[in-house]
Amino acid sequence: MMNRRSYGALGAGLLVGLGCLGTVGAHAQTITLKFASFGPAKTAINACGPVGTIDGITKRTNGRVKFTRFFAGTAFSHPLKQYAQIARGVTDMTQGVLTYTPGRFPLTSMATLPFLMKDNAAGSRALTRLTKTHLKSEFDDVHMMAVIMTGLYQFHLRKPIKSVADFKGLRIRGSGRIHRSILENLGAIPAQLPAPALYEALSKGVIDGAMMPWAAVVSWKLGEVTKFNLQTGISGALVFFGMSKKAYAALPADIKTIIDTEFSGPDLASRISKCWDPVDARGKAMVKKNGNQIVIADAAMKAEFQKRLSGIETAYVAGLEKKGIPARATLAALKAAIAEEEAKASK
């Protein structure tokens, strides 16, 4: 028979054992996060970028973190609302577009100034580095994982452009204040349309062209409604990948470490930006096969572009400085970071 002391020892042992089981159970508990992306679920860029990233998180955490997924056409994927939704904690993790919210990210938007970068992956690394310093104040309301530059922009057109003068009077789609300034300085009329509306607008002649990456030929079938392409690498669009602060704060410490070290920062930005590369290549190959006329801007045409666009940077920076926003120092830091990252990429 067990005496009173033995029962006490057994009870204490059981409590310790149950406590350990509770710790293990909590540690292994599945965390389900709401993830949203502005793009369709099955596009190559989405499969490679955001879907590949969240699948990687699930695999790396041995299934402890899983995702309920919302893509184009769902309430949580509206590109104009995604940042606000994650800032409020409506969604937990998001890949969304920064360029669609003009005025909200004035410093980060400087990355879309004309001909600022030659390599979108290197530019993405530079941008993400600066989210810890010069750009930090613009993302205080979210847990930012990466800022990404899309494939660089070309012109997809219904009419040929052989010189900068040919832009005069054409209605061309752009997004954001800087893209609008680029088009206006080229003599074109800016048209701000969501990407899904481009096919119909081009097919009906409502617009004459679009400033988009080569990938748009694949994603939005622009090759079917344009016959001319001008390759410039003039700018790009900005995408963010981040978490709500509330969702991040609730994660166990070891999962935070996994996300911070393996699924955040310049490496994530570079990985996602490179998802545009093979699709850009496919898009260019498709228009060649279709018989489109492709003009690649040579040194003389680029000099003509630079002459027309030279005042955009000065005016934009001066406008922000007048409002007390440190644009000059931030742009200098961004240019330096881009130069460093492009130099590393070229080795």
Q: Where are the domains of the chain?
A: 29-150+237-277, 153-236+286-346
The tokens for 99 are: 């360029």
What is the rounded distance in angstroms from the CA atom of residue 218 to the CA atom of residue 266? 27
pLDDT surpassing 70 at residue 267? yes
Which architecture does CATH list for 29-150+237-277? 3-Layer(aba) Sandwich (3.40)
What is the rounded distance in angstroms from the CA atom of residue 206 to the CA atom of residue 215? 22
Among residues 159, 109, 120, which one has the least CA distance to residue 320? 109
Which architecture does CATH list for 153-236+286-346? 3-Layer(aba) Sandwich (3.40)
What is the rounded distance in angstroms from the CA atom of residue 232 to the CA atom of residue 297? 6
Alpha-carbon distance values, 5 to 10, 13, 19, 57 (Å) = 9, 12, 21, 49
In 3-state terms, the chain is what percent helix, strand and coil (to 5)? 55, 15, 30
Residues 6+ apart with CB under 8 A from 176: 99, 100, 102, 109, 112, 237
Residue-wise pLDDT for 97-134, tens only, equals: 998 887 899 999 999 999 999 999 999 999 999 999 99
* CATH topology agreement for domains 29-150+237-277 and 153-236+286-346: yes
Among residues 145, 146, 108, 142, which one has the least CA distance to residue 125? 146
Confidence of residue 203 (pLDDT cuts 50, 70, 90): very high
Average of pLDDT values for 305-311?
96
Average of pLDDT values for 138-149?
98
Q: Which residues on adjacent β-strands are paired with residue 155?
A: 211, 230
Long-range CB contacts for residues 183-188, cutoff 8 Å, separation at least 24: 183/211, 185/308, 185/309, 185/311, 185/312, 186/305, 186/308, 186/309
Instruction: Note the pLDDT of residue 134.
Output: 98
Selected residue with higher pLDDT from 11 and 271: 271
Terminal-residue alpha carbon distance, the chain: 78
